[in-house]
A = this chain, B = another copy of it.
Amino acid sequence: MTTGSDRKAGNPTIKVVAERAGVSVGTVSRVLNSAGSVSARAIERVELAIRELNYSPNASARQLRTGRSGTIGFCTRDITNPLFAQMARAFQEVLEDHGLTLLISNAFDDPKRERDMVRRFVEQSVDGLILAPSTDDGTQIIEMAKAQGIPVVVLDRDSPPPAVRVMTEHVGGMKQATSYLLDLGHRDIALTTGGSGHLAGRYRVEGFRRAFEAHDLPVPEHRILQGAFSREFGWRAASQLLLSEDPPTAIICGGTPLLLGTLPVVHSAELSIPGDLSLISCDDFDVTQLYRPAITVVRRDIHAIGRTAAQAMISLIEGIDMPAHANFRIPTELVVRDSCAPPGSLPANPG
């Protein structure tokens, strides 16, 4: 006996249910959708038939007919990143309450795949799309979705209207983190973050600069390393920074993947934190909380972001009036832990 043989068992259709219940398909459809009025007796008989047949309506047919699917697509850059994983959870929490199902897909940080996934979602007639495109090219994707009249919520990224945006106060958050280091006495601070194609990257750089300006200090442009929001780049940047003749006394990592790339370099260079190097990361997940010393972070409420985005989506779908280019801004908070100290607290790296 082999598997893969008995495909297409031919599930019961609404017609079979109708026959079994001794009513018409119209009536079955009405009880299925709690629409129109049906006699208690009919409801009972239909429900019985449904149970007996283990009937489950064919979503394709329903979608074809109604144009709606009851699903929302979320296209992540990398589902492996806790940022997106946690957001997905938050989305789901509110979408569920509205009978919507979240479908998650993973673009591997590849713009081409991203486009494919969005197209898939559109073809599947999702009722809405939550996007966090990997580059500003993402605009194209957003347009694509909107051209189909599908409501779009965009995360941490600019977007042509009408699309609702949910953004983080990166500028303020980064300015606060940088100022904190400056106040501690650091002057040689480095920032590693995502590329300029990313709004989040640009804003972080902006906040970094503003802190120096507010302190009447020159901005150390050469300490701004802007590459990608990847572990890989985090590693490269940290290597360049820490393995040089003249390492900075502090590093701010503009995202968890950057931190994950930085830590191994810190370890292999046998640098102690915060003795040899002060460290701040953006976003607060397991590593930052459990690492010893615990890492100071610029935190944002992922859950709040997720809920806000999902709520906005609901409003869009339900046709509730909403400013064409609504823009929700989520604040950040500096969580001070043990990874920062005044520079030179301990003798520098032997060598």
Chain A residues at the B interface, C-beta cutoff of 8 Å: 1-9, 11, 54, 56-61, 63-64, 67, 69, 71, 79-80, 82, 85-86, 88-89, 92, 101-106, 108, 117, 119-120, 122-125, 147-149, 151, 161-164, 260, 263-264, 267, 286-287, 290-292, 315-324, 326
Contact = CB atoms under 8 A, between A and B. Distances in A.
Contact of A123 (B7, B58, B286): B58
A36 B312 CA distance: 46
Contact of A5 (B61, B101, B315, B319): B319
Contacts of A5: 319
A122 B4 CA distance: 16
A80 B79 CA distance: 9
A324 B3 CA distance: 5
A286 B263 CA distance: 10
Contact of A80 (B67, B85, B101, B124): B85
A5 B151 CA distance: 9
Contacts of A1: 162, 324
A117 B101 contact: yes
A13 to B, nearest CB: 11
B323 A2 contact: yes
23 contacts: A2-B162, A2-B322, A3-B151, A3-B164, A4-B315, A4-B316, A8-B67, A8-B149, A9-B147, A9-B148, A56-B123, A59-B124, A60-B60, A71-B124, A80-B82, A80-B89, A82-B82, A88-B106, A92-B108, A102-B105, A124-B124, A264-B290, A286-B286
A320 B3 CA distance: 8
A319 B4 contact: yes
Which of A86, A88, A163, A286 counts the most chain B CB atoms within 10 A? A286
A124 B121 CA distance: 13
Given A92-B106, A292-B292, A125 B3 contact: no
A79 to B, nearest CB: 5
Nearest to A262: B290
Nearest to A289: B264
Contact of A4 (B7, B61, B151): B151
A103 B102 contact: no
A111 to B, nearest CB: 15
Contact of A89 (B9, B108, B162): B108
A69 to B, nearest CB: 8
A96 to B, nearest CB: 8
Nearest to A91: B106
B67 A64 contact: no
B106 A103 contact: no
A69 B102 CA distance: 17
A103 B315 CA distance: 25
Which of A8, A123, A326 counts the most chain B CB atoms within 10 A? A123
B104 A89 contact: no
Nearest to A57: B123
Contact of A2 (B56, B89, B149, B321): B321
A102 B125 CA distance: 16
A198 B54 CA distance: 28
Given A122-B56, A286-B260, A321 B89 contact: no
